[in-house]
A and B are shown apart, each in its own frame.
Chain A
Amino acid sequence: MSRQQVRGNPRMRRGLGSRTSDPTTMMEDPPSGDWLTLRSDQFLKWVDDAVYNIAEQTGIRDVVNRVTRPIFNWALRYSPWPLHFGIMCCALEMGAAGGPDHDSERMGVVYRSSPRQCDILIVNGPVCEKLRPKLKTLYEQMADPKWVIAMGECAIGGGPYWDSYSVVAGADTFIPVDVYIPGCPVRPEALMHGFLTLQKKIREQEPGYFLRR
């Protein structure tokens, strides 16, 4: 199935979580007002009506934002959890950065194996045509806010495999990349610097809104 077809079909786009039958027939609508028993799509609608719109109209949202945003941003900045996902050489240096000699965990970098728990996708090697759809799925499975680090020459522009028939010319051809770390392979110190650069970027972008759409 081509990527175009996948993009056009909303049920396919949902990936692993796609339902096979119509969700509305699976459960009776709950009584209105009891938000504890709502399904997720109903809950989002309920939040819109009951909280977001009111907070927006009365201006409370701005006040809360001003108070909480530095706290949320600080929390985001110092707990950048990357996905435990190794492609090639740089994956070993990613492991070495997490090892005892460099110990990236002191900066809050904790590797998680599930994309649902992660903030950072580290593309640490060449992206082949066979891998590209899988990597895109991984990126889409990650919850917002999320960032992408292109680690090494292969992820930046194909590296030594620039004239290969199966390697994509850089990760930024299909997912947005925030930090580029040059090197072949990237040394662990350079990866640490990349994390610090990303911290700076998170501070400047100021994410961490209260009730962000």
Chain B
Amino acid sequence: METGKLIQQLGKHKGTSNSSALRSNVGCISVTPEASSAFFTALKEDFAFDHCSLISAVDNQSGFELVYHFSIVGESGQMLEVHVDLPRDTPTIDSITHLWGGADWHEREAYDLMGIYFIGHPDLKRVLLPDGFAGHPLRKDYVYEIHEEEW
């Protein structure tokens, strides 16, 4: 499916906004956290996005933003970037591990380093940092001691 047509069809889903084409084979769309679960299910089953490339969490000071990158394993190499804005005090969203197995550790990493909670994740615990670690270091308000001056 062409990218223009794809984002047009995706834009009809509930809770979506700001659909645009970034490159010839890359689309971009925003979705609300409440509508995300139904949207992702449709993405997997109706639009054949069979590969979850990356889940990045961005700390926007006022809130968190999750950026999903999905792609189609095929010659077209089509990709879709999905933005989900989360409130700062309750950063929770439905897990997508039941749709894409590869999302498992990406969600664990987002929990570990940024403190996003994924509801329905089978094993949500720290993956890179030791279990007793305090805080989520990739948040902008995380402070730690640096011994030397900056260059």
Contact = CB atoms under 8 A, between A and B. Distances in A.
A/B touching: CB–CB < 8 A: yes
Interface of A: 129-130, 162-163, 165-166, 169
B129 A166 contact: yes
A130 B148 contact: no
B148 A162 contact: yes
A54 to B, nearest CB: 51
Interface residues of B, number: 9
B146 A163 contact: yes
Contacts of A163: 146, 148, 150
Interface string B126-144: 0001100000010000101
B23 interface: no
Q: Which of A162, A165, A169 has the most CB of B within 10 A?
A: A165
A165 B130 contact: no
B147 interface: yes
14 contacts: A129-B130, A130-B129, A130-B130, A162-B147, A162-B148, A163-B146, A163-B148, A163-B150, A165-B137, A165-B142, A165-B144, A166-B129, A166-B137, A169-B147
Nearest to A133: B130
Interface of B: 129-130, 137, 142, 144, 146-148, 150
Given A163-B146, A165-B137, 12 more contacts: A129-B130, A130-B129, A130-B130, A162-B147, A162-B148, A163-B148, A163-B150, A165-B142, A165-B144, A166-B129, A166-B137, A169-B147
Contacts of B147: 162, 169
Nearest to B133: A129
A130 B129 CA distance: 7
Contacts of A166: 129, 137
Contacts of B129: 130, 166
The 8 closest A-B pairs by CB, nearest first: A165-B144, A130-B130, A163-B146, A165-B137, A162-B148, A129-B130, A169-B147, A166-B129
B61 to A, nearest CB: 19
A129 B133 CA distance: 10
A39 to B, nearest CB: 37
A88 B90 CA distance: 38
B142 to A, nearest CB: 8
Nearest to B146: A163
